Structure 1
Amino acid sequence: MSAPETSQVSHPDGRVELSEPTALTGRFANPELVPVPIAKRKWTTYNYFALWMGMAHNIPSYLLASGLIAIGMNWLQAFMTITLANLIVLVPMLLNSHAGTKYGIPFPVFARAFYGVRGANFAALLRAFIGCAWFGIQTWVGGQAVYVIVGKFAGDWWTDAARIFGQPWSIWLGFLLFWGFQMAIIWRGIEAVRRFENWTAPLVTVGFLLLLGYVLIKAGGFGPIFSQPSQLGWGADFWKVFAPSLMGMIAFWATLSLNMPDFTRFSSSQRRQVWGQVLGLPTTMSFMAIVSIMITSGGIVLYGEAIWDPVELASRFDSAVVVVLALLGLGLATVSANLAANVVSPSYDFSNAFPRRISFRVGGLITGVIGIVIMPWRLIADPNIYIFAWLNFYGGVLAAVAGVLIAGYWLRARARLALAELYRERGRYWFRGGWNWRALVATVIGAVFAVGGAYGGPFPEDGLIPLLKMFYDYSWVAGFFAAMLTYLALSVFGSAARVPSEYAGTDGENR
């Protein structure tokens, strides 16, 4: 059943809405997927700054810098790599965010314009399953924090509990408790997530600052920490790992560079969401990086080794008060990041796949279940696997999707979409059977260029496809540009997601 006729209304600030959004009642619409009316787009610059503070200040982002220290970089090399990566990934993030603010649509609906109304599920589910894995990773480290906190009071019967599947049963219990707490919040809906982010944003740094303060006191100040030498130097050994490390750092937010429309659809203006992200992402991640670097380097001074996991490092502290307060702060930070980055978007993605059957809440529950099944404890067992296998591989795949979206929206459609058509069967974005083969081919080619040569860790040393091994060190860049150029080339040979003439010029400037 096709969506009823409804016209799009353009506002002076460039934002667009439908005259009758409730008319979108077909099989490809539900309350979570239809455009947000202008009256309900209320998020401010602070909301986006708080969102990024909540998402960036968490244990997995801490592991980025501590992982670079663990593989041999010094503080300056690690800080430079992470800061540069976040400035790079901010660009595609802002480019894709524009559509969410302008049209009030989430990422999977945005993808319909270029992948097709059905084909968008391909891009959305790629992003969703990676989000599920991240949800599992965040929940696992949060569960570890619960395990350590309870162990400080419960004693040996808890910390030395009988093992199940190689881990004490008490760790599994902490994992499940942490999982259930997050599911309870997401079940209350997107507004509950926004309120939680606003409340926790000023507090999430407490745990990390406590860890830092304790390490500084015990290590004798900043001097011993910043004097830690690089094991790689500044020669060939460093530059050999710099490029793949940079790609891994970019890949950390490759998911959000796609699905920020899930959040910017609620923005009260383009300016507010842009400034919120510009002020939020680079600053919070740079702060997180320098704190992680100092704590990890301090751990080397104190314990003679680079302990990249802050939960394990905190468990070695003598002061139970410091351990409990620090890990409570870290746990709060992890919940905040997990809800925003790894549950909201997969929930929309699963809902997009089955709009009439899966609501935002049910999508969140599916995310939580897959996050357990994927066995996240294996993905963060080693910094080399975490950075060079996990981050680089999925980052390259999602970069291909980003290349298609940016080429389609900015270079082909010129930031103009026929809003109601995104929900219409056999309409403008139906292509062939609901799929745009050009976008699919471009994505596959970009992904093959990016990760076809994957090597190291679980991959063959010569690469999955030896001829493409040289591209894997530049996986995100290779995937992004290969997909973008392929999509543009294929689009020359036929129509591909251009706005119909009756909408051209009706929606204001491309703000």
Structure 2
Amino acid sequence: MAVESSPPQVTPDGRVELSDAGPIKDSRFFNPELAPVPIEQRTWTTYNFFALWMGMAHNIPSYTLAASLIALGMDWVQAFLTITLGNLIVLVPMLLNSHAGTKYGIPFPVFARAFYGIRGANLVALLRAFIACAWFGIQTWVGGKALHVIVGRLAGDGWTKASVVGGQPWTLWLCFFGFWVVQMLVIWRGMDAIRRFENWTAPLVSIGFLILLGYVLVKAGGFGPILHQNSTLGWGAGFWKVFFPSLMGMIAFWSTLSLNMPDFTRFGGSQKKQVTGQILGLPTTMSFIAIVAILTTSGAQALYGEAIWDPADLASRFDSTILVLIALISLVLATISANLAANVVSPSYDFSNAFPKRITFAIGGLITGVVGILIQPWRLISDPSIYIFAWLGFYGGLLASVAGVFVAGYWVIKKTRLELADLYLDGRGAYWFNGGWNWRAVLATLVGSVLAVGGAYGGPFPADGLIPFLKPLYDYNWVIGFVAGFLVFFALKENTAKEKTR
């Protein structure tokens, strides 16, 4: 039951704004950064969303994602098709969940309140936040490595071969923490600083990758040696055994954003602008970086006899210091751009959602940075099989069930209609459910997650799977999690609709 004091205002294009935010401002579940964005502040254009995706997609982990498929034995055609298909699939739930952000001006954790309850939303928000923290750490580590190579080219062997601390040169740790500090300074300035940073870095981030490709092409003698690198998997059973878990990994790469895109689309000038910007942005930019990474890695394999899937390591082998500096400076800027947008914005809101009166957006960003270090990202990205099958596959399956609940709840059960003020009300309203929790959404998420990742195997997981009889499902973890979360939540819709507020 809605308790809004006055009807919300609705623009001709369907966007909703509170007529009076006064009744919700005293709620302990409200703060200015979680509040609905006023219509006059929803100013992001198609280019803003396109630039956002260019900034997020063109980074070193995106490059290593594509290059790792070559390292696993695919040829360039197989790797490109796997990545392109994965991005087209994940674009669907991403656009479906983006709609609520633009319509209501709300971020992801507030959107989650509609289905999990005012308090229950913290369950999925913090799950998303800790995954983002790990990604922040990964991006910061690879950015720090690139910075280490840059300084090493100028300072010489005394820098690159410095004494080892914790398994790495102490100079690499210095670059890692320096890279960390720069990002914290940007996030402390708030969301608008991130938007401006994305806008001016977006056109520059392709330069470094094109330099890498151009150098390899010249040294390899053109595309010939690259395009004729044969797959070690073939097109038979060996390929399909690697293809499906790899596809799930490609989907999982952006499955986090498929949930929290409302954090950005809440600033959208219209549904058309955010949809067009994302369609132009995600598939095209990821396909571009994929083909560049695939061709570069294949060329490096022809030149050096091994698949070098880390662009910083590859650039360090170049003869020209100028090329190394230009390429890696571009990659460092690209990585900062991607990390701020993809891995700091969401957890900042998520941590703020857990304690709205105590944690601001900036403090949430600082928490993200600290947790990102504690997770030890250098271990997560140390091996392509662990990177794709264990890390990406496992968390992708977990988040897929949440995406299933969102899509079923918002589009099928609620039919895109939410009571905006009730999303902030303390102890009453349509989304309080039982003590602030909707156990049915939690159950749907639990069932979907167990089915998706219960059979996890390989890397840190048992060879027979965590739950052996579920092992066959793990190769299809994202699809299993999404479908199961959707169906279970939809099956409980009648009870959900009749849930009494308390």
TM-score, scaled relative to structure 2: 0.98
Contact (CA 8 Å) 1:116, 1:429: kept in 2 or not?
yes
Report how far residue 319 of structure 1 moved: 1.0
Runs of 4+ displaced beyond 3 Å:
2-7, 496-499
Does structure 1 conserve the Cα–Cα contact (< 8 Å) formed by 2:75 and 2:231? yes
Opposite residue 19 of structure 1, the aligned amino acid is S
Residue 398 (str. 1) matches residue 399 (str. 2): yes
Q: Distance in 2 between matches of 1:480 and 1:453?
A: 16
The 5-angstrom pairing of residues 206-245 of structure 1 reads 206-245=207-246
Give the AA of the match of 2:62. S
Amino acid at match of 1:179: W
| 1:64-98 Cα deviation digits (max 9, x unpaired) | 11000000000000000000000000000000000
Q: Which residue number corresponds to residue 98 of structure 1?
A: 99
| Other-structure match for 2:156 | 155
2:54 is aligned to 53
For residue 6 of structure 1, report the CA deviation from its aligned partner.
4.7
User: What amino acid is aligned across from residue 483 of structure 1 in structure 2?
Assistant: G
Amino acid paired to 1:340: A
Give 2:5's aligned residue: 5
Matched residue type, 2:221: G
Change (3 A) 1:497 1:55: farther
Quickly say closer, same or farther: Cα 1:438–1:187, change in 2 above 3 A. same
**What secondary structure sits across from 2:133 in the alignment?**
helix
1:19 equivalent in alignment to 2:5: no
Residues 427-472 of structure 1, C-alpha deviations (whole Å, 9 max, x = no match): 1100000000000000010000000000011101100000100110
Report if the CA contact (8 A) 1:7-1:420 is conserved: no
Quick one: which amino acid aligns to residue 192 of structure 1? A
* CA contact 2:67–2:294 (8 Å) conserved in 1: yes
* Partner residue, 2:34: 33
Q: What does 1:38-437 align with in structure 2 at a 5 Å threshold?
A: 38-425=39-426, 426-437=428-439
**Matches of 1:5 and 1:210 in 2, distance apart?**
59
- Whole-Å separation in 2 of the counterparts to 1:124 and 1:234: 40
Conservation of the 8 A alpha-carbon contact between 1:396 and 1:476: yes
Determine the structure 2 residue equivalent to 1:472: 474
The residue matched to 1:111 in structure 2 has which SS? helix
State the secondary structure of the residue aligned to 1:205. Answer: helix
Equivalent position amino acid for 2:485 in 1? A
**1:503 corresponds to:** none
Q: TM-score, normalised by structure 1?
A: 0.96
Shift of 1:497: 8.2
Contact map agreement 1:21 1:37 (CA 8 A) in 2: no
Aligned to 1:484: 486
- Tell me by how many angstroms 1:12 deviates: 1.0
Deviations 1:212-262 (A, max 9, x none): 111111110111111100010011110111110000000000000000000
The one-letter code of the counterpart of 1:118 is R
Residues 1:449 and 2:451 aligned together: yes
Conserved in 1, the CA contact under 8 Å of 2:433 and 2:500?
no
Distance 2:6 2:479 in 1: 40
- Picking from 461, 464, 468, the partner of 2:463 is 461
Amino acid aligned to 1:389? A
Letter in 2 for 1:202: P
Deviations 1:92-139 (A, max 9, x none): 000000000000000000000000000000010010000000000000
Closer, same or farther in 2 for the Cα pair 1:229/1:496, shift >3 Å?
Answer: farther
* Structure 2: gaps (5+ residues): none
Q: What is the rounded CA distance, in whole Å, between the counterparts of 1:497 and 1:112 in structure 2?
A: 15
Task: Say if 2:422 and 2:431, in contact at 8 Å, map to a contact too.
Answer: yes
Q: Between 101-110 and 156-165, report the one with greater CA deviation.
A: 156-165
1:30-88 superposed Cα distances (whole Å, 9 cap, x missing partner): 01000000010000000000000000000111111100000000000000000000000
Alpha-carbon deviations, 1:180-218, whole Å to 9, x = none? 001000000000000000000111001001111111111
Secondary structure, aligned partner of 2:492: helix
Counterpart contact for 1:49–1:279, Cα < 8 Å = yes
Contact 1:413 1:497 survives alignment (8 Å): no
For 1:147, give the aligned amino acid: H
Q: Alpha-carbon deviation of 1:5?
A: 3.5
Secondary structure of the residue aligned to 2:367 is helix
SS in 1 for 2:436: coil
- Partner residue, 1:504: none
**Structure 1 residues 209 and 498: CA distance shift in structure 2, 3 A:** farther
State, as a whole percentage, how many aligned pairs show the same letter: 71
2-structure distance, mates of 1:334, 1:23: 41
Rate the CA distance shift 1:3–1:32 in 2: closer, same or farther, 3 A.
farther
Matched length? 498
The residue matched to 2:309 in structure 1 has which SS? coil
Structure 1 residues 299 and 424: CA distance shift in structure 2, 3 A = same
Q: CA deviation at 1:482?
A: 0.6
Residue 498 (structure 1) shift: 11
